[in-house]
Amino acid sequence: MNSLGTTIIEVLGVTLPIFVVVAIGYFIKKRGIISEENVPVLNRLTYNFGLSSLVFIQIAQNKFSDIFDVKLLKVIFPSYFSYILIIFFIFFFTKIKAGTKSAIIVSSFRNNMAFIGMPILLYAFGELASAKASIVIAMLLPLNIIFTAIFFQVFNLKAAGANINSQIAPGEKPATGDRFNVNTAGKINLKRLAKEIFLDPVIIGVAAGLLVSYFNFNLPKPVTNIFSILSDIAVPLALLSIGASFKFAHIRNHIKYISIISGAKLVIFPAIAFVFGKYVFNLGSLDLVAICILFATPVAVATYIQAQKYDTDLDFISSVIIVSTIVSALTLTAWLFVLRMINPA
């Protein structure tokens, strides 16, 4: 079989099983094996224990010089900020209600890097690519949390304040930054936001892994085995939890903007990263692969979780998560094929 046919089979061998497991997660919930109330628990279990252990052990078991390249930062941040600026100026002046507008903008840049991107890189390019991906995720995760709060705050300040005040009983003193991560003066609750960032399990896992990798610590075998066992649950639980989170009820109401955001996120976002990585900063092939695949992932489930703290269009967010995830089965396969041809190793 020629190299083209071999590459196609290899690519499908990576993406097809991943999205089949996502589909299994949906049918597991539909059959009642997992209840609606258990889905958030499954998400937290996967993220807090599985994925945090996965990023830690994969970084810790690699040399720091092998997984970190300063060029990564030169590509990540220009790609990220230029894309957000494009999306912001496109939708800022559109005549859409504030809640939907904020949901559209935030959904456009929140990627499911951990639940979708890391499994693809792990199965397609091995543990080194996955370790590099962990660093990219750690760099962007705080920015994602901060910008999500800012955009929701900019577009939903009045609505958020009204919702907070509506929850205050007559004669009761207003609480500061309770549910919405904002205070009654309309300012972002910086203390809670900082806590959300610095206590994030994946960020802690990456930081701990980098320390072990940088100082070349030899972890005791029992410790390594514990994290290896926990990391083994990350990929299957992550994929099952994505499928179990699917709700199809509101897709028809938002199909126009869902289509636009899905196209921008799955095609334009990674294309910008590809141009910066290959033609501007001449990034190494495996680093380029890691960034492009991560930027080509669908909307993160965490977007919906964080959006619940604000008065925004949750129906749009849940719908775009579903559609972008389904469409990404095709677009990620295409991106993986292109990147495989560039870096066949």
- Domain carrying residue 66: 3-167+175-342
| CATH code assigned at 234 | 1.20.1530
Mean pLDDT of 148-163: 64
Pair 318, 257: CB distance under 8 Å: no
Question: Could you give the number of structural domains in the chain?
Answer: 1
Whether 170 has a pLDDT exceeding 90, the answer reads no
Residues in the chain: 345
Among the listed ranges 83-87, 159-163, 227-231, which one has the minimum average pLDDT value?
159-163
Mean pLDDT of 105-130: 88
Q: What is the pTM of this model?
A: 0.78
Which is nearest to 84 in space by CA: 106, 56, 60?
A: 106
Whether 24 has a pLDDT exceeding 90, the answer reads yes
Q: Is 182 helix (H, G, I), strand (E, B) or coil?
A: strand
- pLDDT for 25-35, tens place per residue? 989 988 888 88
In the chain, pLDDT over 70 holds for what percent of residues? 87
Among the listed ranges 72-86, 122-136, 171-185, 308-322, which one has the minimum average pLDDT value?
171-185
From the centroid of its chain, how far is CA 326?
15
